[in-house]
């Protein structure tokens, strides 16, 4: 029930803070950004880098070959995560500069 009401409630709170401006918008944007960082670092990435032996269940290849394949897959995953972070940092650093 709470999940269903969270979107309309979020729209109402966001509209109220947008009209008020100032610190409220910064706090809400910080919470939203923190939620995405938490989900990315603690939920998604952790599960992606866990040992994936279950995907090779029933495979007849040797254990060493499977371990080597898993290391290659983990390295590729890490490289793409690092590339994603680099792209975000680059876009952020090239963003519009403004003064207060």
72 pLDDT above the threshold of 80: yes
Report residue 56's pLDDT band, with 50, 70 and 90 as the boundaries. low
What tokens appear for 34 in the block?
């923190």
Average of per-residue pLDDT across 53-65: 64
Q: What angle do CA 56, 40, 37 make, to 5 degrees?
A: 170
Q: Dump the DSSP string for 67-79.
A: HHHHHHHHHHHHH
Give pLDDT, residue 49.
Answer: 73
Tens of pLDDT, residue by residue over 14-54, are: 777 777 667 777 777 777 888 887 877 777 777 777 765 55
What tokens appear for 67 in the block?
């371990």
| pTM metric for this prediction | 0.51
């Amino acid at each position: 029930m709470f999940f269903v009401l969270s979107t309309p409630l979020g729209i109402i709170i966001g509209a109220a803070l947008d009209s008020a401006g100032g610190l409220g918008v910064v706090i809400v944007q910080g919470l939203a950004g923190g939620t995405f960082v938490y989900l990315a670092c603690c939920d998604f990435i952790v599960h992606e880098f866990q040992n994936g032996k279950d995907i090779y269940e029933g495979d007849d290849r040797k254990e060493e070959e499977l371990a080597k394949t898993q290391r290659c897959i983990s390295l590729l995953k890490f490289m793409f995560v690092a590339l994603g972070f680099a792209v975000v940092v680059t876009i952020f650093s090239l963003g519009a500069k403004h003064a207060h």
